[in-house]
Amino acid sequence: MILQFCRSCQKYQYYPRPICVACGGDDLWPVEAAGTGVVDSFTVVHRAETPYTVARVSLTEGPIVLTHLVDIPDPVCDQPVRLDWRDGLPVFRPSLPE
Ligand SMILES: [Zn+2]
């Protein structure tokens, strides 16, 4: 997952934009995310045959990503998660044990 790092204000943003949403600058550089974060909030969607979980994940670098949680049947806020990919889209799974 590629984030943008603003060299003017030292903040990260996701998704990519032409200017920094924090300072309005355009000195933005692509950087690979660490792929770690915590669950910020979530909701389980029961309208599909198989329920799925939509979540906001707060990345270690700071930005918040709207994503799906997989293999987390009973998520809780602040739970550590790690980035994975499914069908070309970013999803988050439980953090690997230390
Ligand atoms: Zn900035």
The string of pLDDT tens digits covering residues 19-36 is 999 999 999 999 999 999
Could you tell me the residue range of the domain that residue 57 belongs to? 34-98
Q: Quote the pTM value.
A: 0.89
89 and 76, same structural domain?
yes
Distance in Å, CA 95 to ligand 1 centroid: 30
- The tally of CA atoms less than 13 A away on the side-chain side of residue 86 is 10
86 and 38, same structural domain?
yes
Arithmetic mean of pLDDT, 32-47: 96
Distance in Å, CA 8 to ligand 1 centroid: 5
What is the model's pLDDT at position 97? 74
22 and 42, same structural domain?
no
Distance in Å, CA 10 to ligand 1 centroid: 6
Arithmetic mean of pLDDT, 62-83: 96
pLDDT at residue 87 is higher than 80:
yes
Reported as a pLDDT band with limits 50, 70 and 90, residue 62 is very high
Distance in Å, CA 6 to ligand 1 centroid: 5
Distance in Å, CA 43 to ligand 1 centroid: 31
Question: How far apart (Å, rounded) are the C-alpha atoms in residues 27 and 48?
Answer: 42
38 and 28, same structural domain?
no
CATH code, domain carrying 79: 2.40.50.840
Distance in Å, CA 1 to ligand 1 centroid: 19
